[in-house]
Amino acid sequence: MKLNKKKSQEQKGAPRWMTTYADMVTLILVFFVLLFSMSQINEVKFDAVAESFKNRMIFDFLPSPVESENPTQQTEVQESGEQSNEFEDPTEDPQTVAESEENESDGQNEEETAENQLNEVVQEVDEFLESNQLQDIISAERTERGVVLVLQEQLLFNSGEAEILESGRPFLGKLSDLLSNVPNHVKVEGHTDNRPISTEKFPSNWELSGARAGSVIRYLLNTNEQLEPVRFTATAYGATRPVAPNDSQENWKKNRRVEVVILDPEYESTEQAQPASS
């Protein structure tokens, strides 16, 4: 009986290994408390994250994991099915999107208007050429640059001269009226054949082609006060851009010309954006 009583007394209380385990857990707790006390918490970021969780729901049917200061507000959001999103892209604001679409529409309308005006110019020029039987001397075509009018030398100038002939003035007068109805910039280009010229007035084809381009612009501006000089550009190409081989009288006549280019605004902006060649 004494032995059984002694054994039952030894079984009372926790086992000895629990003491060691409790000490180990306590040490681990102290270790993490020290780590936490030495760490730095960014309160601004913490508050922002906490606020974000307050305003959001992980699922539509679950509440926010962070307790809200105003629980009724969160309940109303859940019931209405609406969800606030402070991270939405500001560019997706309906008013901003509407303004952007309106600007794009305006840009497309301007391009369509400019295109229609150029097509009308081509039609008017063709009608004028046909009514005056000038198709063999003047040609008009629509290119990527815009509307290109090609005026042969015999219509405007005597050989080796840059003064406008009487026979060419009616067409230039009509051309000035057309140009006053469109806002486009105009480029007047002078071209010659490859036969050299050497006079006191024109030492080379460069001076001759440039003088002819300048004469056309000067006549247009003098006959129509509505035309703004800033819209016009004179360019001398000499014999560098022939439209036919310089090997016959007929081809020389084709190369001696003045081209009036009513510039397409889109082509003009592209041309200005290109770097100048060195």
> Domain holding 263: CATH number?
3.30.1330.60
Do 192 and 256 meet the contact criterion of CB atoms below 8 Å apart? yes
**Residue 186: which domain range?**
116-273
Grouping H, G, I as helix, E, B as strand and the rest as coil, residue 150 is: strand
What's the pLDDT score for residue 244? 96
Q: 124 and 235 share a domain?
A: yes
**Residue 63 located in a structural domain:** yes
Instruction: Say yes or no: 124 and 76 in one domain.
Output: no
Determine, yes or no, domain membership for 166. yes
Per DSSP, helices labelled H in 93-239 are: 94-131, 153-156, 169-180, 205-223
| Any domain includes 38 | yes
**146-152, strands of its sheet edge to edge:** 138-143, 146-152, 257-263, 186-191, 232-238
In whole angstroms, what is the distance from residue 20 CA to residue 26 CA?
A: 10
- The rounded average pLDDT for each run of 10 residues, N- to C-terminus, in the chain (278 residues) is 55 74 88 78 69 58 52 52 50 61 61 74 78 78 90 92 93 87 92 95 96 97 94 97 95 95 82 56
What span, in angstroms and rounded, lies between the C-alpha atoms of 204 and 197?
Answer: 5
Structural domain includes residue 54: yes
Could you tell me which of 35, 66, 36 has the C-alpha nearest to residue 50? Answer: 66
Both structure tokens of 174:
């009509």
AA identity, residue 256: R
Residue 259 shares a structural domain with residue 124: yes
Give the span between the Cα atoms of 150 and 244, in whole angstroms.
14
Residue 88 is assigned to a structural domain of this protein: no
Among 79, 80, 51, 82, smallest CA distance to 67 is for 51
Query: Nearest-5° angle of CA 136, CA 139, CA 141?
Result: 150
Identity of the amino acid at 106: D
State residue 101's pLDDT score: 63
pLDDT of residue 59: 46
Contact between 253 and 155 under an 8 Å Cβ cutoff? The reply is: no
Are residues 121 and 61 located together in one domain of the fold?
no
Indicate whether 111 belongs to any domain.
no
226, part of any domain = yes
pTM of the full structure: 0.57
Same domain, yes or no: 137 and 234: yes
The angle that helices 205-223 and 169-180 make with each other, rounded to 10 degrees, is 60
CA distance 220 to 156: 13
From 36, 57, 80, the end of a domain falls on 80
φ, ψ (nearest 5 deg) of residue 115: -65, -45
Other beta carbons less than 10 A from residue 131's beta carbon: 8
Give pLDDT, residue 228. Answer: 95
